[in-house]
Copies of this chain bind each other. A is one copy, B any other.
């Protein structure tokens, strides 16, 4: 491997993925379950010490959230108010930085995935991009004008409200905060609770799918009307079946009803709403890029 190595960590509520290398084709990865912060972070640190030693230039951490992304905040680099036991107010950046002694990049898992797809995947060359993942929950990250969206905190796109036709779908939603928000209606656990089987076991002609495509299209339409992305990358386990994409695209156009007339939408919808090119590695590869950027910004800051 080359002399300069970058590390990436995708910190999820269920599992952590660590990677080290120079890019998507030159990468060593390791996955382990998320246990306590102490044990999990010590496995992260061990992985990089073992695999890179003093060739490590920087590490990027892409985390489940909510997280604190404000470099001026005392809680920068922390997970803040997660319901996940033991992880509230947990400092991710501090322990990794002090153990490894390298610059650490930090962002949400979905922002990192958006960045990964923008630089290496389905969003290459695009300044404005929406990345949405639909699995255990729903999360969204975005690039606007070439930059990852942070703002006051960071986007929480899974929690937007969408119309819920109770007559067609009496299921009240899974979200402990909002009930039938976008995530509450359309995430994997909502499908399982509503239909009695997980998404991957529901046949393509199951009535679950038109409803799911409707909800996904509603969510995507709202997000796209807000930030006007040049492409929408839809990842995660739920839309994994290819028929889902066709239904979501059709329903998205039906909902817009001709209002957005750009040819990228009305003539090339198959290239407008697409699966991630990096598969389930968008997040960890985005984390690697966060690490690479952390070196750049450390240099540029002096």
- The segment out of A19-27, A37-45, A216-224, A286-294 that lies at the interface is A216-224
Q: How far is the CB of A252 from chain B (nearest CB, A)?
A: 12
Size class of the contact patch on chain A: 35 or more
The reply to whether B81 and A156 contact each other, CB–CB distance below 8 Å, is: no
Instruction: Please determine whether A177 and B258 come into contact, CB atoms closer than 8 angstroms.
Output: yes
**Is A203 in the interface zone, CB < 8 Å from B?**
no
Q: Find out whether the CB atom of B178 lies under 8 angstroms from the CB atom of A150.
A: no
Residues in A112-163 with C-beta less than 8 Å from chain B: 127-128, 140, 142, 144-145, 147, 149-157, 159-163
- When A161-B162, A162-B161 are in contact, do A262 and B152 touch as well, CB less than 8 Å? yes
CB pair A230–B128 under 8 Å, yes or no, is: no
| A residues 209-248 touching B (CB-CB < 8 Å) | 218, 221-223, 225-230
Q: Which residue of B lies closest to A230 (CB)?
A: B152
The one of B81, B154, B260 that contacts A261, using a Cβ cutoff of 8 Å: B81
CB within 8 Å of B: which of A180-229? Answer: 218, 221-223, 225-229
A161 contact set on B, CB distance < 8 A: 162-163, 218, 221-222, 255
Beyond contacts A149-B228, A162-B163, A163-B163: 16 other A-B pairs, Cβ-Cβ < 8 A, are A66-B260, A128-B151, A145-B145, A145-B147, A151-B227, A151-B230, A152-B262, A152-B265, A153-B228, A155-B226, A156-B259, A156-B260, A160-B221, A177-B257, A178-B257, A226-B226
